[in-house]
Amino acid sequence: MGPLSILLIVLVVLVAVALFKSVALIPQGEAAVIERLGRYTRTVSGGLTILVPFIDRVRDRVDTREQVVSFPPQAVITQDNLTVAIDIVVTFQINDAARAIYGVNDYIIGVEQISVATLRDVVGGMTLEETLTSRDVINRRLRGELDAATTRWGLRISRVELKAIDPPPSIQQSMEMQMKADREKRAMILTAEGQRESDIKTAEGKKQARILGAEGDKHAQILSAEAERQARMLLAEGERAAKYLEAQGQAKAIQKVTAAIKSSQVTPEVLSYQYLEKLPEMAQGDANKVWMLPMQFGDSLEQFAKAFADKDDDGTFRYEPAPVDESVRDVANETTSEDWFSTESAPEIAKAVAEANAVANRSVDDPDNPPAPSGTEPSAQSAITPGEESPSWPTYGQQGATPPAQPATPQQPDAET
């Protein structure tokens, strides 16, 4: 191989290297900083880039997507002198690749250090309890401080989160004991509240039960008294009607006996004969040891006959009975009792019985039956509508007639009735 061949090979290699150096391929989501003779010229991203061989070069490539960086736990002292370990997660994006390259040596380390410094400043002014309960406040302050500090580096802080806040083990144990005691306290309070509510509900239920029981007993006593009153009224009405019927029967019997005697025209001879027939019966008693007959008994009968008899032509006294009236004869011959008494219930009594049954069958809880006021006894006239007179009692000799208020002894019929 001669010198010419070697020179040709060298030229081909130089051309190939020059072509390779003149083309740069930048992927999507990345940005490249181009320098020319060691000086920044431009920033390219997402495509094919032509470079001047041996003059232009790619200084560095950066990722322009959002990046999530988790920093190791940082020891931070709170206001009450307790050391806690806090993990931070920072989400950021590179907006200016040239500033990220030329503005800071390592922007990741810069973000970490600024985050730690700002976190210690914020948490140092809070107690442990405030630190544990104020994560949103700490996140907003950290994001504000980091965004202001990293703007000149071409970074945009999207989000800052506290991943974990770990107090010392002794503090954790104390906190757990405190939380346990607090939970037990709340449980005991809730149990006591539940027991109190249960006792109150139980007492209310017993109270309502006693009230309802008393109301039921009161209504039962009222209904019992009303039923007893109605029963006594009906019993008295029945006794009164029975006595009145008995008196009417006796009067009617006497009237019929008298009418029968008058219609039969009995003479003194018959009466004397009847008297003599009754004398042995009068002497039949076991206690009758001695029976005395007046000596002048015959003379008395003779004087009685002379007083009521007429003397005939032969000097004998003969009794002539008085003529019998047809009305007396009709009374004596009467055989039916339908026209002079009735056993049907009076309308007033039937009405009182219906009202008593309606009151007895009415429900205690019926809104149309309000209970009687406390301390008030049911009136004896409660079955009678106000403004109406007391029901009158029917005469049992005539249907629907009214008897006198106090029935008198029936008038004995005389000889002229």
Q: How far apart are CA 282 and CA 413, in angstroms?
A: 28
Q: What is the pTM of this model?
A: 0.42
Alpha-carbon distances of 158 from 140, 141, 143, 262, rounded to whole Å: 11, 13, 8, 141
Residue 206 pLDDT grade (very low, low, confident, very high; cuts 50, 70, 90): very high
> CA neighbours within 13 Å on the CB side: how many for 15?
6
According to the per-residue pLDDT averaged within each range, which of 63-67, 196-200, 337-341 is highest? 196-200
Per-residue model confidence as pLDDT tens digits over 321-362: 666 677 766 766 666 655 555 556 667 667 777 777 776 666
pLDDT at 395 over 70: no
Query: How far is CA 405 from its chain centroid?
Result: 56
Confidence of residue 384 (pLDDT cuts 50, 70, 90): very low
**Spatial distance between the Cα atoms of 178 and 170, rounded to a whole number of angstroms:** 12
Residue 412's alpha-carbon distances to 243, 338, 406, 416, in angstroms, are 17, 22, 18, 11
Torsion angle in degrees (nearest 10) through CA of 170, 176, 178, 181:
-140
Q: Which residues pair with 57 in a beta bridge?
A: 35
Cα–Cα distance for residue pair 346/403, rounded to 1 Å: 12
Residue 315 DSSP class: S
Contact 77, 83 (CB under 8 A): yes
Domains recognised in the chain with CATH numbers: 3-62 (no CATH), 66-167 (3.30.479.30)
What 3-state class would DSSP assign to 260? Answer: helix
411: its two tokens? 């008038």
Amino acid letter at 289?
K
Give me 269's structure tokens. Answer: 């001879």
